[in-house]
Amino acid sequence: MIGEVIESRTSEFVAESVEFDQVPAFGSFVKVRDGNRTIYGIVSGAYTGSLDGSGRAKAFFKSMEELQMEQPQIFSLLRTEFSCVIIGYREGDRYCPYYPPAHPRLHLPVEAADEEEILGITRSMGYLNRTLGSPAGDGEELTAAALRNVAYLQDNPREYVLKAGRELLKMLGYDTQRLKNIIERVDVV
Amino acid sequence: MKGTILRGSLSGGFDVRLDIGENIEEIKVGTFCVVQGRRFDFFSMVVDEDIEAANPKALYETVSDNPLVNEIVQGTGILDKVKIQPMIMIDRSDGSVRPVKSIPGHLSPVREAREEDVFRIFGQPDATHFHVGSPLDMEHIPLCIDLEKFIERSNGIFGKSGTGKTFYTRLMLCGMIKSNLCNSLIFDMHSEYGWAARDEDKNRREAKGLKQLFGSKVAIFTLDPESSRLRGVHPDFVVEIPYQAIEAEDIALVWEELNLNSTALESIYVLQKHLGRDWLLSFLKMEVPDIESFAERTGAHTGALQALQRKLMKLERLPFIKENPADDAVKRIMDYLDNGMNVVLEFGHQKSMLAYMLVANILTRRIHELYVKRSEEALGKGGMVNKPLVIVIEEAHKFLSPEVSKQTIFGMIAREMRKNNVTLLVVDQRPSGIDPEVHSQLGTKITALLTEEKDIEAVLCGSNNARMLRNVLASLDTKQQALIIGHAVPMPVVIRVRNYDEEFYREITRPVKPGLGARLKESRNLDDDPEMSAPGREFEELMKELYGE
C-alpha cells in the first residue's frame, strides 16, 4: 500500500501517502481494489503541506539533518497527497480501457501496479488520450512521463515509443511541434 | 506497394496513402496496382506521386535531433502519397472485366498487381495474343496485345528518335506475321526490317530481319538492288515504277520535296487532263516550242510550265522510275500478298523523302484500289473477303499532315478504318505533325518517350485520362519502355518491351499449333487457287532461281 483514497470522482481520485515523504513517481501506474473491480490510474501530480491544511509550513533555514535532530515534531504535522487520472479498470480477466461504472470508494488502499499489469493495460494506446487531457493541467508532461515509464518495461522501448508516437500525433491533430515536445522528454532515441 | 485509399474521385483518380515502411522511391510511375474494394478489384496504374501533410504546418518542420520524432512523423503526419488512375474494374464474383463506373471506399487496401491480374485483363500469350513485353517492374509477367483487335484499325508507333521505334515495329510485325492474321506491306525506308539490321544493343551486332526469321513468309522487294546485294540481301523482286503510274495526286503529295507552289499543282492537274496517262513523260519530253503551244491551247502560263518542268526533272533522276518497266510491281506485290506472304520494300540508297513518298503513295493507291474492288465484289457475291493488309509507313507525318492527309491515300485508309481490310501502321517521331483527325482514328498507339509537349498532346488526344498519362509518357526510359493505349489493350499500359534476342527468335519461329491459323475464317483459301503464281514456295528455291546455286 502506498496511500489511501481521500477524494474520488469519475475521472480521477486523490490519495494520501502513507508517509509524508513517500510519493509514487509522477506518471507511474497505480491501482485501487474496489470489490471485485481493480481501477487503474496514472499519478498526475502530488502535493505536500500542513496536516490541517489551514496553515503553511514555516522556514527554519537548517539542513534536513539538523531539523530531524532539533525539530522532529514538525514532520508529523505534514502530509502528502497525490492525484491520479483514471485510465480504466479490470473486472475478472477483462481489462476495460475506460471509466469504471462507479468511481472508487473513499479510504480504499492505493497500490503500485505491477509490471505485468502495466504491460497489459498499455498494450493499446488509449491511456495516452487520458494523460494528454489530464485535469491537473500539464498533459504533455504527464504523457511523456507515463510513456517513459512504460517504455522502460518494454523489450524494445524504441519500437513502443514509435508506435505510441504515431497514435499521439493523431491525438494531437497532427501538430508535430507538440509531438516533438513530448517525445523529446521520453528519453528514448 | 501496399497502402490504403486516402481519397479519390472517378474523374480524378485516387490518392493512395502508402503504408508505413513502404518506400516511395521504389514505386515507379506506370506500375500497376490493384485496389481491393468490397466487390470489385480496381486495376489501376500509378500516374503520380507526391508528399502530403495531414497538417500543412508539418511540412515546414526541420529535421529533428531526435531521429525518433522524424520517424514517427514520416508516414503519419507526413504522407507519401501515390496517385493512381483506375483503369479496369474486375467483378470478383464472376471475374468479368468492365470499365470503371464506381470507386472503392475509403481505406480500401491497395496492393501490387500480380500475374493473374495481368492475365485476366490482357490475356495469356496464345496464337492471337502476342507477348510484347511486361508491365514495369514485373518483368516475369508477360503482357499481351490482342492482335485480332490490333489489326482491326490503323495503328501508330511513336517516339523520339533513338527510342526504338524500329525495334517496336519489328516486334509487332513479328507478332503479326507469326499469328497469320494478316499480311503486311512494309515500306522500309532505311532497309531495317527485311534483313539483319544493326541492333541498338551494343552487345550484339545485328538484329535478325523478318526474312531471316520467317523465311518463305516474307518477301523482300527492293528499289535499289545494288544496295541490297551489298548488304548481302537477295531481293525477291526489283521494283520499278512506270511513268504512267505517277498521277497528279502523287506529285501533289511531294510538293514540298519538289518545291512546288499551288499554281504549279493546278498546272499538273491541267497537264494530266490534257495529256492523259502518259502526261508526265510527255511533259518532261516537251521542248520549249511544245510548251509554248501547249500553254496557248490550255491558257496556262508558259514560264510557269517551264519552271514546273524543271522541277519535275528531279523525278528523272530517280533510277527506279522507268519508261517501260519489265514487270508490274503492284501485280507482283498483290501476288505475294495473296499467297499469304508479307512484303518488305527496301529503299536502299533511295531513301530521300521524295522517293519514299512517291513510291509508297503510288503502290498503296493501287493496292488499295484492288482491295476496295475485291471487298465490293465480296459484298456483292457474299463470298471471299480480303485477308487484312497492314501497310507500314515511316515518317508518317509527311503523308498524314493536315495539309495533305485529306488527299493522300494514306489519309483515306486511316479514316475508313477496316472497311476494306486495309489498315496502316504509321511510324513517326513527330506525331504532332499528323492530322488530328487521323490521330483520332488510330486504334492502338505504341508510344516510346516523347518530350515535346505538342507531340505528347497529339498522341494522347482522344484518350481518356490524357492528363494522367502525360506524366507517364514524359517519364518513360529512353530504351525499351513504351506506353500502349487504345483498341488492342483494354487499358493504357506502360511496358518494358521484351528483348529481341535468341530466345525471342526461338519462340517466334516455333511453329504454330495446327488449327490456330484457321480462326480467320474469311481469309482466302489460296492454296487451292491454281492460277496463282509461285511466290509462296520455299525461300531456298527462290534463291536458287534468282541467283543460281
- B96-107: per-residue pLDDT in tens? 888 899 999 999
Residue B522: pLDDT over 50: no
pLDDT at B518: 43
Within 10 Å of residue B510's Cβ, how many Cβ atoms? 9
Q: How far apart are CA A19 and CA A80, in angstroms?
A: 7
Mean pLDDT of chain B: 85
- DSSP E strands, B288-388: 321-322, 342-346
Q: Name which of A39-53, B191-205, B287-301, B327-341 the model is least confident about.
A: B191-205
Q: Is the pLDDT of residue A138 over 80?
A: yes
B29 pLDDT band (50/70/90 cuts)? confident
Supply the mean pLDDT for chain A: 92
Decide: pTM greater than 0.80. Answer: no
Confidence grade of residue B339 (pLDDT, cut at 50, 70, 90): confident
Percent of chain B with pLDDT over 70: 91
DSSP string, B390-459: EEEEESHHHHHSTTTTTTSHHHHHHHHTTTTSEEEEEEES-GGGS-HHHHHH-SEEEE-----HHHHHHH
Show residues of chain A in contact with B71, CB under 8 Å.
162, 165
Instruction: Say whether pLDDT at B530 is over 60.
Output: no
Cβ pair B68:A169 closer than 8 A: no
Of A146 and B324, which is predicted with more confidence? A146
**For position B343, what pLDDT does the model report?**
93
Decide if A189 and B58 are in contact by the 8 Å CB cutoff. no
Residue range A150-179, pLDDT digits in tens? 999 999 999 999 999 999 999 999 999 999
**CA B214 to CA B170: how far, in whole Å?**
12
**Is the pLDDT confidence value at A112 over 90?**
yes
Which has more confidence, B517 or B291? B291
How close B78 comes to chain A (CA, Å)? 9
Out of A130-134, B2-6, B374-378, least confident range: B374-378
pLDDT band at B540 (very low <50, low <70, confident <90, very high): low
Question: Confidence class of residue A15 from pLDDT cuts 50, 70 and 90?
Answer: very high
* Residue B371 pLDDT class (50, 70, 90 cuts): confident
Question: Does any CB of chain B come closer than 8 Å to the CB of residue A105?
Answer: no
Helices assigned H by DSSP within B180-241: 210-214, 225-230
Tally Cβ neighbours within 10 Å of residue A104.
Answer: 27
Confidence of residue B31 (pLDDT cuts 50, 70, 90): confident
Interchain CB contact of A62 with B (< 8 Å)? no
In whole angstroms, give the CA distance from residue B532 to residue B339.
8
Give A134 to chain B, closest Cα distance, Å. Answer: 23
Contact A161 B69 (CB under 8 A): no
Question: CB of A85 within 8 Å of any CB in chain B?
Answer: no
- B350: cell is 533511295
Average pLDDT over residues B248-277: 86
* A161 touches B at CB < 8 Å: yes
Mean pLDDT of B321-336: 86
ipTM over 0.90: no
Would you place residue B385 in the very low, low, confident or very high pLDDT band (cuts 50, 70, 90)? confident
- Lookup result for grid cell 485510465: A87
Say if residue B526's pLDDT is above 70.
Answer: no
Q: Are B345 and B218 in contact (CB under 8 A)?
A: no
What mean pLDDT is predicted for residues B521-531?
A: 42
**Shortest Cα distance, chain B CAs vs residue A139, angstroms:** 18
- Which one of B123-137, B205-219, B506-520 scores highest in mean pLDDT? B123-137
Q: Give pLDDT, residue B533.
A: 41
**Is the per-residue pLDDT at B33 higher than 50?**
yes
pLDDT for the residue numbered A94: 94
Q: What pLDDT is attached to residue B527?
A: 45
Which among B55, B61, B69 is the nearest to A183, CB-wise? B69
Helix axes A176-183 and A139-151, enclosed angle (nearest 10): 50
Residue A188 sits at the chain B interface (C-beta within 8 Å): yes
Percent of chain B with pLDDT strictly greater than 90: 25
Task: Rank A139-143, B133-137, B395-399 by mean pLDDT and report only the highest.
Answer: A139-143
Provide mean pLDDT across the span B281-306. Answer: 88
